Amino acid sequence: MKTFLKNKAAFASLLFIAMIILFAFFAPLVARHDPSAIDTNSILAAPSGAHIFGTDTLGRDIFARIVYGSRISLAIGFIAVGIAVLIGTVFGSIAGYYGGKADSIMMRFVDIMLCFPAFFLILAVIAVLEPSIFNIMAVIGLTSWMGVARLVRAEVMTLKERDFVWASKVMGASDTWIIARHLIPNAIGPVFVSATLGIGGAILTESALSFLGIGVQPPTPSWGNILMDGKSTLGVAWWLTIFPGLFILFTVLSYNLLGEGLRDALEPKLKELSTK
Helices 188-211 and 62-98 sit at what angle, rounded to 10 degrees?
Answer: 140
Has residue 150 got a pLDDT over 60?
Answer: yes
In a domain, 108, yes or no: yes
Residue 135 near residue 122, CB atoms below 8 Å = no
In a domain, 188, yes or no: yes
In a domain, 37, yes or no: no
In a domain, 258, yes or no: yes
Has residue 132 got a pLDDT over 80?
Answer: no
In a domain, 48, yes or no: no
The count of structural domains within the chain is 1
The average confidence (pLDDT) of the chain is: 85
The percentage of residues in the chain with a pLDDT greater than 90, rounded to a whole number, is 22
Determine the structural domain holding residue 254 and report its residue range.
2-26+54-274
pLDDT recorded at residue 162: 86
In a domain, 43, yes or no: no
pTM score, two decimals?
0.84
Q: Which residues of 251-263 are buried (b: 16+ CB within 10 A; e: fewer)?
A: bbebbbbbbbbbb
Specify the CATH number for the domain of residue 164.
1.10.3720.10
Q: Which of 21-30, 114-123, 175-184, 254-263 has the lowest mean pLDDT?
A: 114-123
pLDDT recorded at residue 268: 58
pLDDT category at 81 given cuts 50, 70, 90 is very high
pLDDT recorded at residue 276: 47
Residue 24 near residue 217, CB atoms below 8 Å = no
Has residue 275 got a pLDDT over 60?
Answer: no
Mean pLDDT of 65-90: 91
In a domain, 151, yes or no: yes
Residue 69 near residue 219, CB atoms below 8 Å = no
Residue 159 near residue 182, CB atoms below 8 Å = yes
> What is the 8-class DSSP label of residue 130?
P
Give the DSSP letter string of 189-213. Answer: HHHHHHHHHHHHHHHHHHHHHHHTT
In a domain, 33, yes or no: no
pLDDT category at 227 given cuts 50, 70, 90 is confident
Distance between CA atoms of 265 and 259, rounded to whole angstroms? 10
Torsion of CA 93, 95, 97, 98, to 10 degrees: 150
CB atoms within 10 A of CB 110: 19
Plot region of 237 (φ>0 → left; ψ -120 to 50 → alpha; else → beta): beta
CB atoms within 10 A of CB 49: 5
Q: Residue 1 is which amino acid?
A: M
Has residue 91 got a pLDDT over 90?
Answer: yes
